[in-house]
């Protein structure tokens, strides 16, 4: 205990909150904030293992006057995955777990759709996005929040999700198996995931502000809220209440940290102290950040970064950029974007946290900061990359244009009478598709935000979600009963470029009865 406490203190002292300003980084940051009208951002840069720059802009809540600080908590989303794998690495170091152990050793009820995959799924296979699950498969059990799905529900539901490709054959990003990995850690470590994360990761590394599980917003204080862009304004969405609840998705994307702690976390990987090497061995560090599954290299990465290879480790992505090896990850949730970038050979890196709609801003800021290290003579700045990205996005939208749903009209109950009723999907659960006044309302029992009115566009029906900002809407395709088999309902994204976590295509509802 004394060793842990002493280590935590030294780690915190090593990360300054007010290092000298840097004109180059200031200009990059301010250009991105101005281009994308960000509500708030915190940025830190590490050079040769030392924090050389910290800056913040904007507010925790737009219009509140509460300024972002290096101690402001942000949702780090999928940057949580590297913390989950570090926890597993700790358990491996302690002899409580082995990467090649079958998942069923720790979770006897674990099942995948294919029994052979169930038998051969190792702990390591949970971490590399190569399980056979379709991209984002089952994410509707995690998001939108809040919902009533538990981790036990996810472990049970996995057996019903049909694979999109063969086991270990390719990379398709998923979140559910990181939730399973958290439960493996809990079983091997003898305590809930949240307890283990505090005990094995946050406390020994001195990450004193990082939060997971239930906590008090006001007791912790200085919490950034997510924002959406509405016209020319940033509007808070899904604001926290006084008590932040424990969430099922925590091992995949539910941790919150501030910039100071994220810089301490990054320095632990770039320039570990002897005490940090005791916390996690050099062997396990190498395992976590080594390539385990190849990822296709996009044309944009080839053009911008001269990249030749990209891969996934355990909770980390990695690729070559202008001849420099990088290890990194991003985090994405509604109204919260982040990136952590490491250049381990030079002990350089950066991390930034944003509390607004910022997919393009993250790409541009990350690219310009990265070029500062990998290609310092690159004359292309924020404006060039932002313009290039905008052109690419516009071309992609033209190739897969979403239909204009503004002319969709509500469907009257009489027009849908043949299809109204109660339905059930084996993993998402019960659905009611029933008259509500002069409309037909769609509602998933365990996910209250998955509700909306049925609309008609041309000859097709769709559900328009009631919650503003819920995207994308979904087509509804009804299939008549076949002999003794009841009628069924399948779904698909109205916008083919919509978020992969809206995995409507994996659903298959069977009609179970009439409306109540």
The CATH number given to whatever domain includes residue 445 is 2.40.128.50
All residues at 6 or more sequence positions from 448 whose CB lies less than 8 Å from its CB, including other chains = 146, 147
Helices (H), 271-411: 274-279, 282-288, 299-305, 359-374, 382-399
Mean pLDDT by 10 residues, the chain (516 residues): 32 50 93 98 98 98 98 98 98 98 98 98 98 97 96 98 98 98 98 98 98 98 97 95 98 98 98 97 98 98 98 98 98 97 98 98 98 96 98 89 92 97 98 97 97 97 87 95 95 92 96 96
- Co-location of 389 and 432 in the same domain: no
- Co-location of 343 and 257 in the same domain: yes
Per-residue pLDDT at 17: 56
| CATH value at residue 363 | 3.40.710.10
Most distant CA pair in the chain, distance: 75
- Co-location of 284 and 433 in the same domain: no
DSSP string, 150-176: -HHHHHHHGGGS--SS-TTSS----SH
CB 338 within 8 A of CB 352: yes
The domain containing residue 282 runs over which residues?
14-76+209-399
Give CA–CA dist 78/144, Å, rounded: 15
> Is 360 a domain residue?
yes
Give CA–CA dist 68/62, Å, rounded: 10
The continuous run of DSSP H or E covering 204 comes out as helix 203-205
Domain total in the chain: 2
Give CA–CA dist 4/15, Å, rounded: 18
- Co-location of 233 and 291 in the same domain: yes
Structure tokens of 70? 């290096």
Per-residue pLDDT at 11: 39
Per-residue pLDDT at 366: 98
> Is 184 a domain residue?
no
- Co-location of 375 and 469 in the same domain: no
- Co-location of 364 and 264 in the same domain: yes
């Amino acid at each position: 205990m004394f060793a842990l406490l002493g280590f935590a203190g030294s780690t915190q002292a090593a990360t300054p909150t007010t290092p000298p300003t840097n004109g180059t980084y200031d200009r990059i940051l301010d250009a991105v904030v101005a281009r994308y009208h960000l509500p708030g951002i915190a940025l830190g840069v590490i050079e040769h293992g030392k924090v050389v720059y910290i800056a913040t802009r904007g507010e925790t809540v737009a219009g509140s006057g509460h300024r972002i600080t290096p101690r402001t908590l942000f949702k780090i989303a999928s940057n949580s995955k590297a913390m989950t794998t570090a926890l597993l690495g700790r358990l491996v170091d302690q002899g409580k777990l082995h990467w090649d152990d079958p998942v069923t050793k720790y979770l006897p009820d674990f099942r995948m759709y294919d029994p052979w995959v169930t038998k051969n799924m190792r702990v390591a296979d949970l971490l590399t996005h190569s399980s056979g699950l379709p991209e984002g498969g089952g994410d509707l059990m995690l998001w939108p929040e809040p919902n009533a799905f538990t981790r036990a529900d996810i472990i049970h539901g996995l057996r019903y999700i049909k694979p999109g490709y063969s086991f270990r054959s390719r990379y398709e990003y998923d979140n559910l198996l990181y939730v399973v990995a958290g439960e493996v850690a809990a079983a091997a470590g003898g305590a809930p995931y949240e307890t283990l994360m505090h005990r094995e990761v946050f406390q020994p590394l001195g990450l004193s502000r990082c939060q997971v599980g239930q906590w008090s917003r006001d007791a912790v204080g200085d919490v950034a809220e997510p924002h959406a862009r509405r016209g020319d304004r940033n509007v808070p969405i899904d604001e926290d209440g006084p008590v932040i609840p424990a969430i099922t998705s925590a091992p995949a994307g539910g941790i919150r940290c501030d910039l100071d702690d994220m810089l301490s976390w990054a320095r632990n990987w770039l320039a570990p102290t002897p005490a940090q090497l005791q916390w996690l061995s050099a062997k396990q560090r190498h395992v976590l950040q080594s390539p385990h599954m190849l990822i296709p290299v996009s044309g944009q990465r080839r053009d911008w970064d001269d990249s030749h290879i990209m891969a996934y480790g355990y909770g980390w992505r990695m690729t070559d950029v202008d001849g420099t090896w990088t290890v990194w990850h991003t985090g994405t949730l509604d109204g919260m974007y982040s990136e952590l970038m490491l250049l381990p050979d030079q002990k350089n890196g950066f991390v930034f946290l944003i509390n607004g709609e910022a997919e393009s801003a993250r790409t541009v800021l990350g690219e310009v900061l990265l070029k500062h290290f990998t290609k310092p003579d690159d004359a292309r700045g924020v404006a060039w990359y932002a313009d290039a990205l905008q052109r690419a996005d516009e071309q992609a939208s033209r190739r897969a244009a979403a239909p204009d749903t503004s002319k969709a009209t509500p469907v009257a109950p009489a027009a849908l009478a043949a299809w109204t009723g109660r339905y059930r999907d084996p993993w998402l659960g019960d659905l009611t598709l029933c008259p509500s006044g002069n409309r037909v309302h769609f509602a998933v029992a365990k996910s209250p935000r998955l509700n909306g009115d049925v609309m008609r566009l041309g000859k097709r029906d769709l559900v328009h979600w009631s919650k503003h900002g819920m995207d994308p809407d979904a087509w509804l395709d009804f299939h008549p009963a076949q002999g003794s088999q009841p009628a069924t309902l399948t779904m698909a994204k109205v916008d083919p470029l919509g978020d992969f976590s809206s995995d409507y295509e994996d659903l298959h509802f069977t009609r179970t009865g009439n409306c109540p």
